[in-house]
Amino acid sequence: MISKAIKFVKEQLTAEPSFVFVGPPASGKTVYFTCAMDRIKKILSQSPACGLSLQTEDKKTLKRHNSSISAMKKGGWPPKTMAAHKLYYLLTKKIRVGGKFHLADIDTRLIYHDYPGEVFEKAFGDENADPHWEKEAKNLKTDLQTAHGVFLVIDTPKLHNGEDEAYNLQLFDLLKFIENETKVKRICVIFTKRDLFRRDPEFDPKQHLRLLYDDAWSFLERSKAAFFFVTAVSNPGSDLDGNLVPPKGFETSQSENLIEPLAWALKLQL
């Protein structure tokens, strides 16, 4: 059974969805999908009837995932992404045989490319950014070319603050690249840090984006992108030095709109 599954996996390799998370530094990419994957995992495990479960494929991914979650529970952020990581998750079907669950099928293998924000800045927009990231920038472009979907993560406070020329250029370049040189099918725009906007429930980041960066907007419209306004970590507190930190004992169930983007991208019904 297992060997069959593995065989199946290997055959499916080329058809696997891989997703690239891209966005400027400190926009919340790593935090977002860590929380999202964690949530999906919990939801699936709470409803065994659907037969699906989400798990990490390799030890490295598991380790990263767990350490990020535990850091946040203790009231800190996961360490800043300093290099590109590939993280592998598996959506699997399990059937119950005897008292145990067995792996029946691998539904989807998800590969996430987590890039440091600096790479995005280097790869798109002004070419004169820090040469340190040159190699990674090339890798990013290559990964984008074979990716199934792109999650464009946008830091909402930054958007809300006003127009940024450099950022405008980066967005434009990225989207142009995606349109012309990749086979990306689904673009999902995630506006993060929604909880900061509690006092302004009328605020619509989508409209704001349209107003500020209309060139980028037209790309997005054409590719039928979906927009989501999310909170990965709600009610962040601040420590005595004034750093925003996750609240102690943080639970992903407190997040908002956390899994909707993924569900859309993966075409999951959850």
Instruction: Kindly state the smallest distance separating residue 197's Cβ from other proteins, in Å.
Output: 7
Specify the residue, 92 or 156, whose C-beta has the smaller distance to other proteins.
Answer: 156
Specify the residue, 30 or 156, whose C-beta has the smaller distance to other proteins.
Answer: 156
Measured CA to CA, the distance from residue 33 to residue 111 in angstroms comes to 12
Measured CA to CA, the distance from residue 67 to residue 108 in angstroms comes to 24
Instruction: Kindly state the smallest distance separating residue 57's Cβ from other proteins, in Å.
Output: 36
Instruction: Kindly state the smallest distance separating residue 268's Cβ from other proteins, in Å.
Output: 31
Measured CA to CA, the distance from residue 174 to residue 225 in angstroms comes to 14
Measured CA to CA, the distance from residue 139 to residue 158 in angstroms comes to 26
Specify the residue, 73 or 158, whose C-beta has the smaller distance to other proteins.
Answer: 158
Residues that bind other proteins (CB under 8 A): 156-158, 160-162, 196-197, 199-200, 237-238, 240-244
Torsion angle (degrees, nearest 10) of CA 29, 145, 61, 253: 40
- Helix ranges (H only) for the chain are 2-12, 29-46, 59-73, 117-123, 134-146, 156-161, 165-181, 205-212, 214-222, 260-266
Specify the residue, 238 or 269, whose C-beta has the smaller distance to other proteins.
Answer: 238
Instruction: Kindly state the smallest distance separating residue 159's Cβ from other proteins, in Å.
Output: 9
Specify the residue, 38 or 155, whose C-beta has the smaller distance to other proteins.
Answer: 155
Instruction: Kindly state the smallest distance separating residue 61's Cβ from other proteins, in Å.
Output: 31
